[in-house]
Amino acid sequence: MFSITSNHLLSVPKSPGLYHQQSLEKHSLRWREKKSITIRCCYRKRGVEAKTADYYKLLGVSVDSNPQEIKEAYRKLQKKHHPDIAGQKGHEYTIMLNEAYHVLMAEDLRRNYDASIGRAGLGKDFSGLGYSSWKGPLRSQALFVDENSCIGCKECVHHAGNTFMMDDTLGCARVKVQFGDEDKQIEVSLDSCPVNCIHWVDREELPVLEFLIRPRPREAYGVFSGGWERPSNVFVAAKSFHKQLKRQDHQQHQRTAQGAGDEETTAQVKARARASIKLRMEQLSRLWSWMTDISG
Amino acid sequence: MAEPEYTVVSDSETSAEEKPSSSYPEIAIGIDIGTSQCSVAIWNGSDVEILKNIRDQKVNRSYVTFKDEIPSGGVSDQVALSEHEIFSGAAIFNMKRLIGRMDTDPVVHASKNLPFLVQTLDIGVRPFYAALVKHVWRSTTPEEVLAVFLVELRAMAEVQLKRAVRNIVLTVPVSFSRFQVTRIARACAMAGLHILRLMTEPTAVALLYAQQQQQVAHENMGSGNEKIALIFNMGAGYCDVAVTATAGGVSQIKALSGSVIGGEDVLQNVMHHLLPNLDSIFSSHGINEIKSIALLRIATQEAIHKLTTQMSVPIELDLANGSKIKTTLDRAEFEEVNKEVFRKCEGLVLQCLSDAKLQVEDITDVILVGGCSSIPKLRDLVLGICKRKVAYSGMNPLEAAVCGAALEGAVASGISDPLGSLDLLTIQATPMSLGIRADGNNFVPIIHRNATMPARKELVFTTSQDNQTEALIVVYEGEGKSVEENHLLGYFKIVGIPPAPKGTPEINVCMDIDASNVLRVFAGVILPTSQQPATPFMEVRMPTVDDGHGWCAEALLKTYGSTLDVNTFQKKIQH
């Protein structure tokens, strides 16, 4: 039922989203958040999923960013858009920034928010399987190339060609087969890496790391295609990703344990109620800016 | 009314020293109207400059005397009024503490022993204030007094800046209600001034701190790490506490707390200690009584000042009515008499810290400002809570707030500085929760205290009766659980609710505070079937109440009972 409203509102010629786009364009935004602002005018997807991107993208931070990064991004954006600096036209945008900041900085709110957006973002297409295959028995440790640091020198491929391979499109090395060569050769290839981007990792972590290091298309909105991205620190990202997975499993577990679900936990009911209030809020906020827009 | 002074000052040669050029015609000036002192500052193109009055003083004593034809605040007088003259009954002061208060307010009652006339009828209307002019009590209002004073400050600024002054940044106490803010805004309007931005006093101090820290970071080529400061600001009328987090010139207010306790309370406590039957002696407000009270006030003020550096002070006083006071006041006695004041201050600091969700270890600096910050007990108390030995020493405790206001004036006027000294921003927080009356007599907050400004929040309410077609939205400000404990801001009715069982219609109430601190309430009914407004929404700028707001709520209750009540909406959420 919410989608009806938003469609209705968007069919109004001077929709709030359009208004934002114009006002901010004038305002010469250099940031890539320029794209994120337009999210609101392309509010097509129903409900929560479309909102996901809002908060993280609005602040221009990645889904795995820490509070410090969020804080810095928020302050930078505030310095551009706060009404003290941008004038009254910064009002709407600053309110959105404040809301995003408030949610992402409070641990519990951010958790609920992340939960409400589900696996969107990072984990959507995570299969649980790694990229590399194994030669011989599984070992507790595995090899992993941090492609963010790899400079594409091919030293490792040269020393252990059955284990490492070169990805020519991305210009970096990758593990093709775990322990594809003799241990000695692998050791030499590790030593030969000038930037130390080959890491020993736990076998259990490998699939997530390999999944995360692959560049994925950034969420695209409207006419703006998003480009490609990957987390800047894959190890930190893996940690938060694990946490997310665990939480989801836990929730899944709770839900199934309680049968086919009219009895939710109070926490879940609360979270859903909050999500629903959020939606209503957006609805009214749009209504508000639409009305002020047409009246003045 | 005080227009003549204008020309008088501009004739004078003495004030014509170096003057900031008028190349920044639009910069808003910062004004700090204190309970006992006022000052004006402006960004002069490279730094904050506090404007001096004709007597070469940066601070102006806040009073208006009615003894001549024209009420005067003495900003442009060559010779300042002595304390004896200020306390002669002809002058009105402490108006910042009394503005916008009803005659049932305890603060008003506690002011009855001031040398001028404070009369109450205790029915929830504005009190009666009057100055003694030629043996007649001449009535006035706090707004008028402040306006007279502001006109003089404005004239002083205009003469020195050689341009018209209209836009100002005004600092107010944290505990000022929105109703009080409208009163002070009215005083500004009477003086021809427009409030561009309103800041709570510690917020202004925080901005000054942000600027100083940024300059330090520039000089050291440092990374400009986040710094956290606790600001304790206590003047004559109010005590405010704030926690700010600052980095890169951005000051973000984490939490605010404040109360109407100040130097005036300390003074009253000591006066009552010295003369226990003070109130009964003074109730008649005769000429002799006024003289006595003036003498007592002056002696007590002096004693309190001396006690900041001395351990004890002798007091010897001949009151005009023949009674004598001869005693010695030592610091321990002083602290005992005021222990309740100190306890409240402690409470404010603790509350602010807990609201900011901070450990004392996180605090980089403790900033003590305001006239009362020189009281040793208070310094020890705040520093003790914060586990510090010394306070931040980078600012003048009496000038910090006005300097911060001047910085904000420059920033909000769109001025930039080539050296980056104005690369600043203050992110303010709401000092009090805002909400409406719902679920009976409960106060349901919509925007919570310490919310980041600008803010917008919305809640859904519903009807309390079957087939209820109208609903009364009564807006309050404060922290109390029931509405009586909070300040009434206004009320309006929503009509045209489609008849339905109680609890089904959805009444949306949205509150919006912009950067200039203007509160708008936006409300209406959304039809569940079409998700469209049933009737046009209402947009109401608050506060709407005027005089007599003390009994408006009771009158509404008497007339309508609970027929127009709203409840919070708790519909089962559907997928």
* Region for B432 from its dihedrals, namely left if φ exceeds 0, alpha if ψ lies in -120 to 50, beta otherwise: beta
3-class SS of residue B191: coil
Give the mean pLDDT of chain B: 88
Question: Which residues, other chains included, contact B20 with Cβ-Cβ below 8 Å and sequence gap of 6+?
Answer: B42, B44, B45, B49, B160, B161
Q: Name the residue facing A84 among B425, B459, B460 (closest C-beta).
A: B425
Q: What's the pLDDT at A277?
A: 55
Tell me if B286 sits within 8 A of B319, measured CB to CB. no
pLDDT of A44 strictly over 60: no
| Eight-state DSSP code of residue B486 | S
- How far apart (Å, rounded) are the C-alpha atoms in residues B53 and B81? 14
Write out the two tokens for A133.
């295959």
Q: Which residues of A touch B508 (CB under 8 A)?
A: 280, 284
The pLDDT of residue B240 is above 90: yes
Burial of A202 (0-12, 13-18, 19+ CB in 10 A): exposed
pLDDT at site A88: 84
B427 Cβ under 8 Å from any chain A Cβ = yes
- C-alpha distance from B461 to closest chain A C-alpha (Å): 12
Q: Which two tokens stand for residue A27?
A: 């305002």
pLDDT at A222: 39
Find the range with the poorest average confidence among A265-269, B120-124, B311-315: A265-269
pLDDT of A279? 54
pLDDT value at position B125? 85
Kindly state the tokens that stand for B523: 């409300």
Query: For the CA atoms of B440, B526, A51, A45, what is the dihedral angle to 10 degrees?
Result: 150
For B90-120, b/e burial (b = at least 16 CB within 10 A) is bbbbbbbbbbbbbbbbebbbbbebbbbbbeb
| Least reliable range by pLDDT among A6-10, B42-46, B241-245, B442-446 | A6-10
Which of B454, B537, B573 shows the shortest C-beta gap to A94?
Answer: B454
Q: Residue A13: CB partners within 8 Å, gap ≥ 6?
A: none
Give A53→chain B minimum CA distance, Å: 20
Beta bridge partners of B493: B472
Q: Do B426 and A79 touch (CB under 8 A)?
A: no
Q: What percent of chain A has pLDDT over 70?
A: 54
Q: Which of B458, B522, B569, B570 to mutate to test the interface with A (most CBs of A within 10 A)?
A: B458
CA distance B475 to chain A (A): 19
- B440-448: average pLDDT: 94
Q: CA of B371, closest CA in chain A: separation in Å?
A: 30
Q: How far away is chain A from the Cα of B417, in angstroms, using its nearest Cα? A: 13
Strands (E) across chain A are located at: 133-134, 141-145, 164-167, 172-175, 177-178, 198-202, 216-217, 228-229
Helix axes A16-26, A266-295, angle to 10 degrees: 70
The mean per-residue pLDDT over the stretch B468-478 comes to 93
pLDDT band at B158 (very low <50, low <70, confident <90, very high): very high
Q: Give the sign of the dihedral formed by CA B245, CA B249, CA B252, CA B258.
A: positive
Instruction: Please check whether residue B195 touches A, CB under 8 A.
Output: no
- Reply yes or no: is the peptide bond before residue B498 cis, omega within 30 of 0: no
**By C-alpha distance, which of B413, B446, B470 is closest to B194?**
B413
B510 touches chain A (CB under 8 A): yes
Asked if the Cβ–Cβ distance from B573 to A94 is below 8 Å, we say no
What is the full DSSP assignment across A34-57?
HHHHGGGGGTTS-THHHHHHHHHH
Structure tokens given for A232: 């800047």
* Least reliable range by pLDDT among A241-250, B194-203, B388-397, B480-489: A241-250
CB-based contact A94 B515, cutoff 8 Å: yes
At B175, phi and psi to the nearest 5? -85, 5
Q: What is the pLDDT of residue A53?
A: 47
**Does A75 sit within 8 Å of B248, measured CB to CB?**
yes
Per-residue confidence at A121, pLDDT binned at 50, 70, 90? very low
CA pair distance A110, B128, nearest whole angstrom: 53
The size of chain A, in residues, is: 296
Which residue in the block uniquely carries the two structure tokens 């003048």? B396
Q: Which of B431, B17, B497 is nearest to B240 (CA)?
A: B431
For the segment B398-408, what is each residue's pLDDT rounded down to a tens digit? Answer: 999 999 999 99
- So what's the pLDDT on residue A112? 84
Best residue in B211, B246, B250, B568 for a mutation probing chain A (most A CBs within 10 Å): B250
User: Is the pLDDT confidence value at B322 over 80?
Assistant: no
Q: Is the pLDDT of residue A180 over 90?
A: no
**Residue B242 and residue B255 in contact, taking contact as beta carbons nearer than 8 Å:** yes
Cα–Cα distance between B452 and B475 in angstroms, integer? Answer: 20
Q: Is B457 on the interface with A (CB under 8 A)?
A: yes
Q: Nearest 5 degrees, angle CA B308-CA B314-CA B318?
A: 125
- What single-letter amino acid sits at A9? L
Mutate to test the interface with A, among B211, B407, B427 (most CBs of A within 10 A): B427
Q: Hey, are the CB atoms on B457 and A82 less than 8 Å from each other?
A: no
- What's the burial of B516, exposed, middle or buried (CB within 10 Å: 0-12/13-18/19+)? middle
Q: Which residues contact B2 (CB under 8 A, 6 or more apart)?
A: B70, B71, B72, B73, B148, B151, B152, B155
**Structure confidence by residue, pLDDT tens digits, B208-230:** 999 999 888 777 765 568 899 99
Residue B40, amino acid: V
Preceding amide of B454 cis, omega within 30: yes
Question: Cβ–Cβ of B252/A79 closer than 8 Å?
Answer: no
CATH number of B263-332: 3.90.640.10
Given pLDDT bands bounded at 50, 70 and 90, which one contains residue B16? very low
**Among the listed residues B538, B549, B478, the one whose alpha carbon sits nearest the alpha carbon of residue B512:** B538
Q: What's the pLDDT score for residue B113?
A: 87
- As a whole number of angstroms, the distance between CA B133 and CA B26 comes to 40
B510 closest CB neighbour out of A5, A85, A288: A288
Q: Which residues of B touch A261 (CB under 8 A)?
A: none
- What is the average pLDDT across B125-136? 90
Rg (CA), chain A: 23
Nearest CA distance, B254 vs chain A (angstrom): 12
Percent of chain B with pLDDT over 70: 93
Are the Cβ atoms of B531 and A5 closer than 8 angstroms? yes
Provide the chain B residues 264-323 that lie in CB contact (below 8 A) with chain A.
none
Cα–Cα separations (whole angstroms), residue B299 to B114, B305, B313: 15, 10, 11
pLDDT recorded at residue B389: 92
- CATH number of the domain located at residue range(s) B434-568 in this protein: 2.60.34.10
Six token digits for residue A202: 């736990």
| pLDDT of B225 | 82
CATH number assigned to the domain with residue range B3-199+401-426, chosen from the 4 options 3.30.420.40, 3.40.50.2020, 3.50.50.60, 3.20.20.105: 3.30.420.40
> Which single residue is written with the structure tokens 């700090």?
B32
Q: How far is B441 from chain A (nearest CA, A)?
A: 24
Give start-end residues of each CATH 3.30.70.20 domain in chain A: 133-213
CATH number for A133-213: choose from 3.40.50.300, 3.30.70.20, 3.40.190.10, 3.30.70.790: 3.30.70.20
Looking at this protein, which amino acid is placed at residue B3?
A: E
Closest residue on chain A to B509 (Cα): A284
Q: Which residues in chain B are contacts of A109 at CB distance < 8 A?
A: none
Radius of gyration of chain B (CA): 25
The interface pTM score, or ipTM, of the predicted complex is: 0.84
| Same topology between domain B3-199+401-426 and domain B205-261+339-395 | yes
- Cβ separation of B454 and A283 shorter than 8 Å? no
Q: Which of B248, B425, B508 is the closest to A284 by Cβ?
A: B508
Q: Where are the domains of chain B?
A: 3-199+401-426, 205-261+339-395, 263-332, 434-568
- Which whole-number Å values give the CA distances from B367 to A56, B234, B252, B356, B439, in the listed order? 35, 11, 16, 16, 42
Do the strands B128-133 and B136-140 form a parallel or antiparallel pair, or are they unpaired?
A: antiparallel
Chain A positions touching chain B (beta carbons under 8 Å): 1-2, 4-5, 8, 71-72, 75, 78-79, 82-85, 87-88, 90-91, 94-95, 98, 101-102, 269, 272-273, 276-277, 280-281, 283-285, 287-288, 291
A102 with B452: Cβ contact below 8 A: yes
CA atoms within 13 A on the CB side of B531: 16
CA of A182 to nearest chain B CA: how many angstroms apart? 47
B41, two tokens: 């500052």
Strand B227-234 and strand B239-247: pairing?
antiparallel
CB contact under 8 A, B537 and A85: no
- Mean pLDDT lowest for which of A68-72, A272-276, B409-413, B458-462? A272-276
Q: Could you tell me how many CB contacts below 8 A there are between chain A and chain B?
A: 87
Task: Give A102's contacts in chain B (Cβ within 8 Å).
Answer: 452
Q: Cβ–Cβ of A277/B460 closer than 8 Å?
A: yes
Q: Which of B418, B420, B431, B424 is nearest to B404 (CA)?
A: B424
CB–CB contact A284 B458 (8 Å): yes
Per the CB < 8 Å rule, is B411 touching A287? no
Give yes or no for B217 touching A (CB within 8 A). Answer: no
Mean pLDDT of B72-81: 80
Q: Is B456 on the interface with A (CB under 8 A)?
A: yes
Of B156, B152, B193, residue with least CA distance to B65: B152
- A91:B514 CB<8 A: yes
Q: How far is CA A279 from the centre of its chain?
A: 21
CA distance A272 to chain B (A): 8
Which residue do the tokens 């007649």 mark?
A: B136
- For B61, residues 6+ apart whose C-beta sits below 8 A from its C-beta are B36, B37, B74, B80, B81, B86, B93
| Shortest alpha-carbon distance between residue B248 and chain A (Å) | 9
Give the list of residues 6+ apart from residue B313 with CB closer than 8 angstroms, or none.
Answer: B302, B303, B306, B307, B328, B329, B330
For a pLDDT cut of 90, what percent of chain B falls above it? 62
- Give CA angle at B363 (B359, B369), nearest 5°: 125
Nearest to B250 among A1, A75, A291 (CB): A75
Separation of CA B321 from chain center: 37
Bridging pattern class, strands B128-133 and B117-119: antiparallel
Report the CATH number of the B205-261+339-395 domain.
3.30.420.40
Half-sphere exposure of B295 (CA within 13 A, CB side): 21
Average pLDDT rounded to a whole number, residues B520-531: 82
Across A42-46, A174-178, B416-420, B476-480, least confident range: A42-46
Q: What are A102-105's contacts with CB under 8 Å, separation 24+?
A: A102/B452, A103/A55, A104/A55, A104/A56, A104/A59, A104/A61, A104/A67, A104/A70, A105/A67, A105/A70, A105/A71
Cβ separation of B533 and A287 shorter than 8 Å? Answer: yes
Q: B528-547 pLDDT, tens per residue?
A: 776 677 788 899 998 888 76
Of the two residues A180 and B410, the one the predictor is more confident about is: B410
The phi, psi pair for A146, rounded to 5°, reads: -80, 100
What is the pLDDT at residue A268? Answer: 58
Contact A8 B454 (CB under 8 A): no
* B71 phi and psi angles, rounded to 5 deg: -60, 140
More confident residue, B396 or B76: B396
Cβ atoms of residues A230 and A214 within 8 Å: yes
**Range from A142-151, B130-139, B328-337 that averages highest in pLDDT:** B328-337
Q: What are the φ and ψ backbone dihedral angles of B137, each rounded to 5 degrees?
A: -80, 115
